[in-house]
Every structure is written in structure tokens, then in C-alpha cells.
Amino acid sequence: MCFALTRVSSYTSNSGTLFSRLNSYAKINKKTQIARTKRLLQTLSPDQKPSFEAMLAQSMSDRNEIKKELDPLHQILSEQTDS
């Protein structure tokens, strides 16, 4: 179990709000980055596209990794608020 998961059990209900804000910020930030890169890809010359396609792939991978890390934390916090 990662450090974040072991520490989450000590948070109060106020941390749920903080977690929600961080969760939203991370998702919005990555979503914005992906949308920006997709828009730029449409305007780039062919020699510039490979590096931006790689950047887009990395951003999408990062987004998936963020989701994978935040989902268990979200589950733990929602279980704590339910009890």
C-alpha cells in the first residue's frame, strides 16, 4: 500500500473537500493540456507533429495514471464519510 493510502485514514471529513479540490484540479489541468495539444496538432507542420504526438500520448498516459492513483483515495474517503 502506498504512503498516501496509509495516511488517508487519519484525515478528517474536511480533507474530503481538499481531496475533491485536488482531484478536480488534477483532472482539469490534464484535460486542458490534452485539449491544447490536440488543437496544436491541427496547425503544426509535418516535421513538428511527431514530438507533439508524443507529448499528447504522454499527457494521456499521465491522466490515466492520475486517475488510477486518485480512485483508491476517493474510495477510502467516501467510505470514511459514510461511516
> 30 lies in which domain range?
17-82
Inside any domain, residue 52: yes
pLDDT 10s digits, 48-63:
999 999 999 999 999 9
Name which of 27, 19, 15, 17 is nearest 63 in CA terms. Answer: 27
How far apart are alpha carbons 44 and 79 in whole angstroms?
Answer: 47
The pLDDT, as a whole number, for residue 29 is 87
Cβ pair 73, 2 in contact under 8 A: no
Q: What pTM did the predictor assign?
A: 0.66
- Let me know if residue 11 belongs to a domain: no
Among 83, 73, 61, CA closest to 20: 73
pLDDT single digits (tens) 3-62: 444 444 444 445 556 667 777 777 888 899 999 999 999 999 999 999 999 999 999 999
- State the pLDDT at residue 56: 96
- Cell numbers given for 15: 480533507
Total structural domains within the chain: 1
Domain presence at residue 6: no
